[in-house]
Amino acid sequence: MLAFDIYIGEERLCLAGVDDWSLLSAHVTAQRGDSSNDGAAESLELYMGGMTQSDAENVSHHVRWGTVTELGVGTKITIHVIETDTPERPIRRYRSDYEVQEQGFTEEEIEEMERQEWLRLKAKFEPHKPF
């Protein structure tokens, strides 16, 4: 089957692929707020995921191998498009329909997102005050 063999630097990140894929995706996103940050990225992330073909019940599933947020200027990302019989299982596989709503994130990912939001709000509402 088709798969993406993904590396950050020399370290293998994952071998993303599933038998019933209809879409495989790996993309890098840079985001910034306003122009006051001199064009620097506020966040850089790599996302690996996709979607399956519809099954016998006409249901497709999203698949995710995760998101990497520890990227910076100069980070080397390599993606080899390969054929393999042994891809890594996605960290999350969930339905893509309105009848059954399934959470797209793992409990660990939700906890990390909540922690990041808490840190953002703490910095906003409790700014460091010099003595």
Task: Assess if residue 109 is contained within a domain.
Answer: no
126 located within any domain? no
CA-CA distance, 13 to 131, in Å (whole number)? 44
95 within 8 A of 102, measured Cβ to Cβ: yes
Q: How confident is the model at residue 97 (pLDDT cuts 50, 70, 90)?
A: confident
- pLDDT tens-digit map of 101-112: 766 677 787 788
Beta sheet of 61-68, edge-to-edge order: 21-31, 43-52, 61-68, 92-95
- How many CA within 13 A on the CB side of residue 11? 4
Residue at 81 is within a domain: yes
* Residues 73, 77, 80: CA angle, nearest 5 degrees: 165
Full domain range(s) for residue 9: 2-104
Domain count, the chain: 1
124 located within any domain: no
90 assigned to some structural domain: yes
The yes-or-no verdict on residue 17 having pLDDT over 90 is: yes
Is residue 115 situated within a structural domain?
A: no
What the block records as the tokens of 45 is 């992330």
Residue 123 lies in a domain: no
Whether the pLDDT of residue 23 is over 90: the answer is: yes
Task: Report yes or no on whether pTM surpasses 0.75.
Answer: no
Sign of CA dihedral 123, 127, 130, 131: negative
Residue 114 lies in a domain: no
Residue 113 Cα distances to 45, 81, 88, angstroms: 14, 30, 24
